Amino acid sequence: MSDTWAWIIIGFAGQALFSARFVLQWVASERARRSIVPKAFWYFSLAGSAVLLSYAIHRKDPVFIVGQAAGLFIYLRNLSLIARETTHAAGQVAPGEEDH
């Protein structure tokens, strides 16, 4: 397999991961009968964005690189907020006390 085809496959794999998050969100919302964003949505976002970022770097596409790199920070931040909320809900740290 040529290097070009390998990168095309990597690009499509990243796009499939990134797109799967929408299907996941839709199914979760339908089941709950309300709009929700499950934690797995953010993991698929992170994985898809990381793979697409590697593809964009390989393609030397600055617009695509900046867009995917920015997304990585957003997805990581959302996972961080979810982890903090989970910790608070478990009663391990009092809200507002994590910085004291």
pLDDT tens figures, 4-31: 888 889 888 888 888 888 888 889 889 9
pLDDT score, position 46:
92
Determine the Cα–Cα distance for residues 3 and 35; give it in Å rounded to an integer: 41
Please state whether the predicted TM-score (pTM) of the whole model is above 0.75: no
Q: What is the dihedral angle through the alpha carbons of 39, 43, 49, 55, rounded to the nearest 10 degrees?
A: -160
Beta-carbon contacts of 16 under 8 Å, excluding residues fewer than 6 positions away, are 48
Buried b / exposed e along 12-42 (16+ C-beta atoms within 10 A) = eebeebbebbeebbeebeeeeeeeeebeebb
Domain ranges for the chain = 3-89
| CA-based nearest residue to 68, from 58, 82, 54 | 54
Phi first, then psi, for residue 39 (nearest 5°) are -55, -35
- Which band of pLDDT confidence, cut at 50, 70 and 90, is reported for residue 99? low
For helices 3-32 and 39-59, angle between their N-to-C axes, nearest 10 degrees: 160
Reported confidence tier of residue 93, pLDDT bands at 50, 70, 90:
low
pLDDT digits (tens, 9 = 90+) for 38-89: 899 899 999 989 999 999 999 999 988 998 898 898 889 989 988 888 888 8
